[in-house]
Amino acid sequence: MQIVVGQQEMESFLEEVFPQVRGMFAIERMAPGEIVMRLLNDERHLRPGGTVSGPAMFSLADVTAYVGVMMHIGKQALAVTLHCSIDFMRKPASGVDILAEGRVLKLGKSLAVIDVMLTSEGCDDPVAHATLTYSIPPVR
């Protein structure tokens, strides 16, 4: 697997295709087959008690998988999530960002499978773990 879209170009692309989540996510690190993203702790996605909500964690896992695929196949807004299985295991720490570490388990011609582990920054134990399948649009 080789990276074909750089970090800055990817961030601009995300802002363009998902303007409604502007400022919610940041790319931490990209490497072949690996991607780390950050969910900025922000009032929009909090649960009562100051911890990040399940839907915000799902969004983070989903965008991490999306970027993990795009960075290898090029910017294609049409790649879509086919499946996500997510386990919520611990309450996120209050007041800190969530980090998502994605690993591309498979990058096929039409499907990609990505594993994403979510942790509260500074804590070892994962708060959630997701596995996603993305559909890759056929090359024209």
| Residues contributing to the site for its own copies (CB under 8 A) | 17-18, 20, 43-48, 54-55, 58-59, 62, 77, 80-90, 105-106, 110-111, 113, 115, 125-126, 129, 131, 133
Residue entry with tokens 């795009």: 70
The β-bridge relationship of strands 98-107 and 111-120 is: antiparallel
Give min distance, CB of 40 to its own copies, in A. 15
CA-atom Rg of the chain in angstroms:
14
Q: How far apart are CA 64 and CA 70, in angstroms?
A: 10
Q: Which is nearer to its own copies, 108 or 122 (CB)?
A: 108
Q: Cβ 38 to its own copies, closest distance in Å?
A: 17
Q: Could you tell me the smallest distance in angstroms from the CB atom of residue 39 to its own copies?
A: 12
* Residues 86, 78: Cα–Cα separation, whole Å: 23
Provide, rounded to whole angstroms, the least separation between the CB of residue 44 and its own copies.
Answer: 6
Strand partners, 36: 29, 101
Instruction: Give the residue with the Cβ less far from its own copies, 8 or 110.
Output: 110
C-beta closer to its own copies: residue 27 or 134: 134
* Contact assessment for residue 100 and residue 64, using Cβ atoms and an 8 Å cutoff: yes
